[in-house]
Structure 1
Amino acid sequence: MAGPFPFLWEKGGTSPVKELFGKLADGTEIHRWSLENGGTRLKVLSYGGIVQSLETPDRDGRYANVSLGFDTVEDYVTGSPYFGALIGRYGNRIGAGRFTLDGETYELSVNDGANSLHGGADGFDRAVWDVEPFTDGPDVGLYLSRTSADGEMGYPGTLAVKVAYTLTERGEWRIDYEATTDRATVVNLTNHVYWNLAGEGGGSVHEHRLTLAASRFTPVDAGLIPTGEPAEVAGTPFDFRRAKAIGADIRENDQQLLYAKGFDHNWVLDKGGTTEPEWAATLTDPSSGRTLRISTTEPGLQFYSGNFLDGTLVGSSGKIYRQGDALCLETQHFPDSPNQPTYPSTVLRPGETYRSATVHAFE
């Protein structure tokens, strides 16, 4: 059957459940979709494509929500640092909020000092998405779609975006991204879940153990824009090639850590870009026994250690979120790629189709 992801269109299984979550100030209704499969429970909002909660069992079978978020639409609109959101058109930062493509310079929405972050002030995380449920044999999921107009946040081209969130029979959460354009543009889509495998509101993640399949990372300047060529992680706090507690080296006197107030960098995955998802990272919480294994087609991964959570936000459990209470593992192309000719290209042209896939497996 025709569709944005033909391999997912066979029908069957149990449909997700839809409910009203709230309304925007202009009266637009925001719905929440609840899915469950393979021991994983997922709740997704039509606002921002946001993962409002993701529940998995611990070693004793006790469920907890392992993603940070809020209980109201209002909190997402007014105070969210991208909790659980779909990110676009361009995940991460573009330096000075501009890039040149085919001889033309484009000025973007600037919302992070002098830079453009996560698509600008009104990125995909603040859009209302069209949502359609599906079942595919033993798997269940949602299609999310929207059209980004030519010039939205300064980006050229009308971009048609389709994303599939799938819960597999094994309890994996898979994301498939697809986009086409009518004019040359740049695209870098990702998702911004904040993970705490001990449970949302469960305190610091500094005891979580992280492994990254990356021998290099991209150093940044004071504005967190890559300075150029990747650097080796060997002998630095950025070496996660073997499982290591996140807090082990986070307070080392390293200029890169000082710039970001912790980790907020892109790791260059050893596998490079691939046509099928391959292993990129493993995160484990010793206290609960929960493990998250991430595979992706993307060449990079942004590890952010929750440095800018400052105790001013109250989450869905009623607990205050403080620095280090969660972390993000955003699969991606590299930050500022449109201005870095040696990085893997993020250019999308008419007649081409952008595709990306990331799988989150829970143990």
Structure 2
Amino acid sequence: MTQHVRGVIAPGKGEQVRIETIVVPDPGPGEAVVQVRACGVCHTDLHYREGGINDEFPFLLGHEAAGVVESVGEGVTEVAPGDFVILNWRAVCGQCRACLRGRPWYCFNTHNATQKMTLTDGTELSPALGIGAFAEKTLVAAGQCTKVDPAASPAAAGLLGCGVMAGLGAAINTGAVGRGDSVAVIGCGGVGGAAIAGSRLAGASKIIAVDVDDRKLEMARTLGATHTVNGKTADTVKAIQELTGGHGADVVIDAVGRPETYRQAFYARDLAGTVVLVGVPTPEMKLELPLLDVFGRGGALKSSWYGDCLPSRDFPMLIDLYLQGRLDLDAFVSETIGLDDVEEAFAKMHRGEVLRSVVTL
């Protein structure tokens, strides 16, 4: 039997979001219906609304979510009704060349629910990142559900579903930050803040936060930054070099994703250091670097997809650290809101007033 629930859709490019009745089908083979408890408001949702991802409107927005499995379809063994889960948008297939080589975090064939959620008139919805969790319930592939300890706050846990995991993973997984390393993070929003927290968790000795907003720099200190640089008033590359004995940082994480910030990251790293790009560029952006500098400085230039995470491995481990008091996920929750407040949350995010607004249901 289908269910009717409230959800937030983006009806067309640049149009304000609105609440609609969403039709959620019973789960088919390999699928699950999840009662959403909390969902963070991520920049990616705004990109969907603005047509920056694709033009498959209308979108059912929301993807950074935690909830409880209500029902599962045929053949589902990973989760069962009643399980508290974090939703992820990279449900690995286990069969592609990346998975078969033992690198499932690079899975090239991730999957989503086969059935479509719709409006009451039958219009098919495109769920954001295959999830669509600005809704009371959503239909996903069972592999998109990762069971974690139910003692965790849904508002905090759900953030691992996208932005916070991306930042933590950029530091821990992609950048391989280790004990005693120096790290610089350019851009201190939700993803950059998580990269700072991840660097502290990994044992970095010096963590330099770079942003043009003093409010974000102050928050960065609470997340673990040992030094801050305001890129509006200081030369970012020179400042990072001065704070690292003139050498540059061992790992520099670009959480902005613009050509100018990537160049700063490239030149602010030590010889043989690592640059990690986790901020998402737009299609028209181009980068030009002297090839001799790329060769001569050595090291590694890496892109971080979803923090190179493996949800089944990383989500439970990070939730355990959260419950032990070693990872402050609550610090990323700036406010909790209702479904009706998503449009205003986009405005607050654009103004840099929040790390994360979180819809709670």
Larger strand percent: 1
- Larger relative helix fraction: 2
Fold shared by both chains (TM-score > 0.5): no
TM-score, normalisation: structure 2 = 0.29
Which protein has the larger Cα radius of gyration, Structure 1 or Structure 2? 2
